[in-house]
Amino acid sequence: MIRIIFAFIVIVHGLIHLMGFIKAFKLAEINQLTQNISKPTGLLWLLSALLFITLLIVFLLNKDWWWIIATPVVILSLIPVVDAKGKEIDQGTMVRYLSEIVWFPSAALNNYVQWEQVDSTTAKATMTYGGITASGFYKFDENGDVVSFEAKRYYDRKGGATLEDWFIQIEPNGFKGYEGVRIPAKAAVTWKLKEGDFTWLNLEISEIHYNKIIN
């Protein structure tokens, strides 16, 4: 059983690194990897993928020297191969921060987040930090529960990032209480693209802690 688990882990890591190479050289659109990857980094991803594949073959053949290949694989896996930066990444990070306020309500009171009433069920949240501004719209129902969050966010494409609609749908019956704080625990995150909707994440909060020091 341990051999099967180890082999599965190696396969998954190899495929992830291969996807990084494909994205770097724009051989296909890999929506699961949302950050830009340079070509030199892509070559490093390819090398890692080939080593993972070689390790898998040698390991399954029961060769005693499989650990010799495993050593450089581990070292390469520890190297940070993505260092995304730029206004697109910064704006996306700020939009994500605004969307996650529903899980940490006290963050809505920060002075760098401004609120504006749009209508009886919609509020606009605007965050300005480090010279960059991002906004999003919260929708509420008649009970004051959050229904959805929508914003413009940069979506990485072959020809460069484009500003697209980013939508979070809260599951109506998905609210739960954690340590006395009632939050939406289930949601779906969807890119509203011109070629069609792309739901890249269905999430469920199973556990959350507030005001605790993590050692």
- Indicate whether 35 and 56 sit together in one domain: yes
Q: Are residues 67 and 104 in the same domain?
A: no
Same domain, 45 and 91: no
**98 and 54 co-located in one domain:** no
Domain assignment present for residue 211? The answer is no
pTM of the complete model = 0.64
Q: Are residues 176 and 123 in the same domain?
A: yes
Same domain, 95 and 200: yes
CA distance 191 to 78: 31
Token pair in block for residue 131: 């010279």
Same-domain pairing of 108 and 185: yes
Specify the number of domains making up the chain: 2
Domain span including residue 36: 2-78
Please name every residue paired with 178 in a beta bridge, in sequence order, or none if there are none. 181
pLDDT tens readout for residues 71-130: 777 776 666 555 556 778 888 889 999 999 999 988 899 888 999 999 999 999 999 887
Cβ distance 73 to 52 under 8 Å? yes
